[in-house]
Amino acid sequence: MVVASVAVLSVLCSGHPVPGHHHGGGGVFVPLNPHFYDHSCPQMHAIIGAIVAREHAKDPRMAASLLRMHFHDCFVQGCDASVLLDADGSGRFTTEKRSNPNRDSLRGFEVIDEIKAALEHACPHTVSCADIVAVVARDSTVLTGGPGWEVPLGRRDSLTASLSGSNNLIPAPNDSLPTIINKFRNQGLDIVDLVALSGAHTIGDSRCVSFRQRLYGQNNNGQVDRTLNPGYAAQLRARCPASGGDQNLFALDLVSQFRFDNQYYRNILASNALLSSDQILLTQGRETMELVHRFAADQGLFFDQFAKSMVKMGNVLPLTGNAGEIRNNCRRINH
């Protein structure tokens, strides 16, 4: 595990919200703080860490799934555990689990349930689901060989979810670079954050349906993506046909699928990125291209920036103070 530099840690520990962003829950904003549960639930980190490690040992894909859950939570009305809410039959909101980015692909909800049950047993009505998701993302990164960071805490859980937000705000694999930049900017995240956080694709899988157009062109027009290595494309076509096989899984990093490292950026330089949204970091923008080169050459630099950017993303629009609630069950609101 690479420990962030002292300068980075001073930023990580400050727990400041993203500039210009305030939660929408009324009341006074309370800055997030890594020590939020030191007295109310001192065993929180140990309980979460043990369960994440056990699940990771059972399923090496789980770390990437849990890291992705935090992204998909924070990009929709802030880091508020809205992504965990099931449809409740009330008609007050529509679950985000059925959105295009999440349906048939977001997973790991049972791990969050298991952690929540253990924490409710140890420290009832204390630790929020939103904080669980944030800590789990850090633990998943560390377990796969990535950097660690202190997670600012004190988020509370939303009373609503947003299907439309999930469909429209989360970057998609076929988005153009300007669209992706705008989606990050909407969250208070800049181009450095975008390129560093995209590096989470050093672990995990993607489905055939998410990159098929690179192999066969839009609407199967035969216009193969010229920025994809032809040898790699041929390999992908073997299990990702022009139609059918939508859910077939492929490693996002063909070299070190289960290891959190900077290989993702090296793959981009070799035209071996799986998703269009990854390859265009090299081909559609000068600033993003320079960052890809820098992170490919220096894993320590990438790790430091990834940790910084994860803390920054984790500070997007948290509900704090008396806003929202501490859910008893992460899948539903209390009342």
Can you give the three-state secondary structure of 72-85, one letter per residue? HHHCCCCCCCHHHC
Please check whether residue 94 is in contact with residue 163, taking contact to mean a CB–CB distance below 8 angstroms: yes
> Among 15-24, 170-179, 313-322, whose mean pLDDT is lowest?
15-24
Does 205 count as an annotated binding residue? Answer: no
Token output for 166: 């999930």
Q: Is 171 known to sit in a ligand binding site?
A: yes
Q: Does residue 318 contact residue 17 with C-beta atoms inside 8 Å?
A: yes
* Reported pTM: 0.91
> Can you read off the two tokens belonging to residue 314?
């984790």
Closest of 35, 76, 11 to residue 311, by C-alpha: 11
Residues 6+ positions from 164 with CB-CB distance below 8 Å: none
Which is nearest to 153 in space by CA: 37, 236, 55, 252?
A: 37
Is 80 annotated in some ligand binding site? yes
* Mean pLDDT calculated for residue range 172-200: 98
Least confident of 8-12, 225-229, 268-272, 282-286: 8-12
Is residue 300 pLDDT above 50, yes or no?
Answer: yes
Catalytic residue status for 35? no
DSSP code of residue 124: T
For residue 62, CA distances in Å to 65, 66, 68, 256 come to 5, 6, 10, 15
- Provide the pLDDT for residue 274: 98
pLDDT above 90 covers a percentage of the chain that reads 87
**Over 90: is that where the pLDDT of 236 sits?**
yes
H/E stretch holding 152: none
314 is in an annotated binding site: no
Q: What is the mean pLDDT of residues 41-50?
A: 98
Mean pLDDT over 231-250 rounds to 96
Sign of the alpha-carbon dihedral angle for 25, 31, 35, 40? negative
Q: What is the rounded distance in angstroms from the CA atom of residue 134 to the CA atom of residue 310? A: 9
Choice between 55 and 11, residue whose per-residue pLDDT is larger: 55
- Would the pLDDT of 131 be above 70? yes
Helices (H) and strands (E) in the chain, counts: 14, 2
Position 60, amino acid: P
Which of 23, 56, 70, 72 is flagged as catalytic?
72
What percentage of the chain exceeds 70 in pLDDT? 91
Burial class from Cβ neighbours inside 10 Å (0-12, 13-18, 19+) for residue 238 reads: exposed
**Which pLDDT score, from 0 to 100, does residue 146 have?**
98
99 belongs to an annotated ligand binding site: no
Region class of 217: left (phi > 0), else alpha (psi between -120 and 50), else beta: left
pLDDT-derived band at 335, boundaries 50, 70, 90: confident
